[in-house]
Amino acid sequence: MCSPEPISFSPLTRANFALLQKWLAAPHVSIWWNERFDLADIETKFGPRVDGKEPVYTYLIQHESLPIGWIQWYRWRDFPAHAAEIGAGLDSAGIDLAIGEVELTGRGLGPGVIREFRRDYIFTNAGVEAIFADPSAANLRSVRAFLKAGFEVVDTIQLSGEDFSRHIVRWPRPSDRPMLPDAR
Ligand SMILES: CC(C)(COP(=O)(O)OP(=O)(O)OC[C@H]1O[C@@H](n2cnc3c(N)ncnc32)[C@H](O)[C@@H]1OP(=O)(O)O)[C@@H](O)C(=O)NCCC(=O)NCCS
């Protein structure tokens, strides 16, 4: 049976950088990213990910084959200081996403994107025991999207240097996908 909202993912490439810049500048995205990016900044931040030199795995989100945003995952063990602040185990994964096309937000796509990505891209890695994300508590839409995807809020914290709180949301590795030593 065909899904009414087919979602797919493809590895981010430099050909997507202008689109990424447009999405990062969109008000519904930039309000949650405390950074501003020109194309040189995008190259600095995302170039090493595209080249496989930084262990952050970034993908384009496609809806009915059209690019609508980006999503990425990483192992918290590669960011131990941040992991310690949010209470994420070093064998767990982090996830960030944004639907950059504002007219495609608020339609229920986000929870499906999270579900499909964690199943097909994160838990395919045998050593990942859970996923932790840390959306701003004020980003009600993001928090709600994680809850709709089955995550639970396990903590609410304020990171050092920030003046707002974040909800820590967690999703455990499914019991039907046994954990094995990580390939890395
Ligand atoms: C966060 C995001 C991925 C969620 O995806 P989405 O497809 O828009 O999510 P949904 O359409 O399922 O909406 C999620 C829930 O938020 C609710 N919602 C929408 N706008 C809201 C708002 N302004 N305040 C509170 N809740 C809101 C929706 O009603 C929905 O809940 P419901 O189905 O119980 O009614 C997407 O909106 C996005 O990329 N936003 C910009 C970037 C961002 O915030 N990224 C996350 C950073 S951690």
DSSP code, position 58: E
Side chain identity, residue 41: D
Region 121-126 average pLDDT: 92
Report the distance separating Cα 155 and Cα 127, nearest Å. 24
Residue 62, pLDDT above cutoff 70: yes
Q: Is the CB of 135 under 6 A from ligand 1?
A: yes
- 31 Cβ neighbours under 8 A, 6+ residues apart: none
- pLDDT score recorded for residue 176: 82
Residue 108, pLDDT above cutoff 70: yes
Answer whether residue 72 is part of any domain: yes
Boundaries of domain holding 123: 7-172
Q: What percent of the chain has pLDDT over 70?
A: 96
> Average model confidence (pLDDT) for the chain?
94
If one counts the domains in the chain, the total is 1
Residue bearing the CA closest to ligand 1, atom 37: 105
Based on DSSP, count helices (H) and strands (E) in the chain, helices before strands. 6, 7
CATH code, 36: 3.40.630.30
Answer whether residue 183 is part of any domain: no
Answer whether residue 2 is part of any domain: no
51 C-alpha to ligand 1 centroid (Å): 31
Lowest mean pLDDT among 81-85, 103-107, 140-144, 171-175: 171-175
Answer whether residue 181 is part of any domain: no
**Taking the complete model, does pTM exceed 0.75, yes or no?**
yes
